[in-house]
Structure 1
Amino acid sequence: MLISLDPFVSMQIPHFPKLEYTMPYAPRAPDSAASRVGARVNASSVVAARIAAIGDVNAADATGMRPLLRAAVRGDIETLRALLAAGARVDLPHTKSGAQAIHMAASGGSAEAIRRLVAAGASLEAIWPMNGHTPLVEATFKNNSEAALALLDAGADPAKTSIRGVGTMDFAMRNPTLNHSVVRRLDLMFAKRPDAVERKDAQGTRVIVDGRPVHDISSSVKADAATRIFAAVAARDAQIRPTPRQDQVFLDLLAAADRGDLEAIKGAIDADAKVVNQRGGKLGTTLLILAAVAGRDDVVRLLLDRGADPNLTEIHPMGVHALFKAAIFGHAAIAQMLVDAGAHVNDQGLANGMTPLHDAVLQGRSAVVRVLLRATARADLEDYTGATAQQFARERGSEAVKAVFNEFFSRTTER
Structure 2
Amino acid sequence: MSAELYAAVAARDTAAVRARLEAGADPSYRDPASGLTALMLAAGQADPATVDVLLAAGADVFTADSRAGATALHKACQGGSVAVVRSLVEAGAFIDAVAPTTGHTPLMDALWYKFPDVARYLLDRGVGLNLSTHYGFTLQEHFAYELNVNTIGKELLLEAEQHLKARLAEDERRAGAHRLMAAVTAGDLAGVRALLAEGVDVDERFPIVNGFNDGHTALLVAARDGHTEIAAELLDAGADVNATEPTFGAVPLHKAVYNGHARLTELIAGRPGVDLNFQGSTNGYTPLHDAIWHGYEECSRILIEAGARTDLRGHDGKTPHDLAVEVFGAGHALTGRVGAAA
TM-score, length basis structure 1: 0.45
Contact 1:167 1:222 in 2 (8 A): yes
Structure (1 or 2) with the larger CA radius of gyration: 2
Structure 2: how far apart are the matches of 1:304 and 1:246?
Answer: 26
Structure 2 regions of 5+ residues with no counterpart?
1-23, 30-36, 44-53, 75-91, 106-126, 143-159, 209-213
- 199, 206, 215: which one aligns with 1:280: 206
C-alpha deviations, 1:40-89, integer Å up to 9, x for none? xxxxxxxxxxxxxxx99879xxxxxxxx9xxxxxxxxxxxxxxxxxx997
For residue 269 of structure 1, report the CA deviation from its aligned partner.
0.7
Structure 1 regions of 5+ residues with no counterpart?
1-54, 60-67, 69-86, 103-116, 137-155, 169-189, 194-216, 226-230, 239-243
For residue 223 of structure 1, report the CA deviation from its aligned partner.
7.6
* Structure 2 equivalent of residue 324 of structure 1: 254
How many equivalent pairs are there? 231
- Percent sequence identity over matched residues? 26
Structure 2: how far apart are the matches of 1:133 and 1:361?
Answer: 31
Structure 2: how far apart are the matches of 1:134 and 1:309?
Answer: 31
Contact 2:320 2:338 in 1 (8 A): no
For residue 251 of structure 1, report the CA deviation from its aligned partner.
2.3
Contact 1:125 1:134 in 2 (8 A): no
Structure 1: how far apart are the matches of 2:320 and 2:327?
Answer: 9
Is 1:261 matched with 2:208?
no
The residue identity in structure 2 corresponding to 1:407 is: R
Is 1:358 matched with 2:254?
no
Relative to 1, partners in 2 of residues 1:356 and 1:268: Cα closer, same or farther, differing over 3 Å? same
Relative to 1, partners in 2 of residues 1:365 and 1:246: Cα closer, same or farther, differing over 3 Å? farther
Structure 2: how far apart are the matches of 1:88 and 1:358?
Answer: 39
The residue identity in structure 1 corresponding to 2:337 is: E
Higher relative contact order (CA 8 A, sep 6+): 1
* Structure 2 equivalent of residue 304 of structure 1: 235
* Structure 2 equivalent of residue 172 of structure 1: none
TM-score, length basis structure 2: 0.53
For residue 299 of structure 1, report the CA deviation from its aligned partner.
0.5
Contact 1:353 1:382 in 2 (8 A): yes
Q: 1:307-386 counterparts in 2 under 5 A?
A: 307-314=238-245, 316-342=246-272, 343-386=274-317
Structure 1: how far apart are the matches of 2:320 and 2:285?
Answer: 8
For residue 313 of structure 1, report the CA deviation from its aligned partner.
1.9
Relative to 1, partners in 2 of residues 1:409 and 1:300: Cα closer, same or farther, differing over 3 Å? same
Structure 2: how far apart are the matches of 1:223 and 1:325?
Answer: 32
Determine helix, strand or coil for the equivalent of 1:276: coil
* Structure 2 equivalent of residue 404 of structure 1: 334
* Structure 2 equivalent of residue 392 of structure 1: 323
Contact 2:70 2:98 in 1 (8 A): no
Contact 1:361 1:401 in 2 (8 A): no
Relative to 1, partners in 2 of residues 1:99 and 1:287: Cα closer, same or farther, differing over 3 Å? farther
Segments ≥4 residues shifted beyond 4 Å: 55-59, 87-93, 124-131, 162-168, 222-225, 399-402
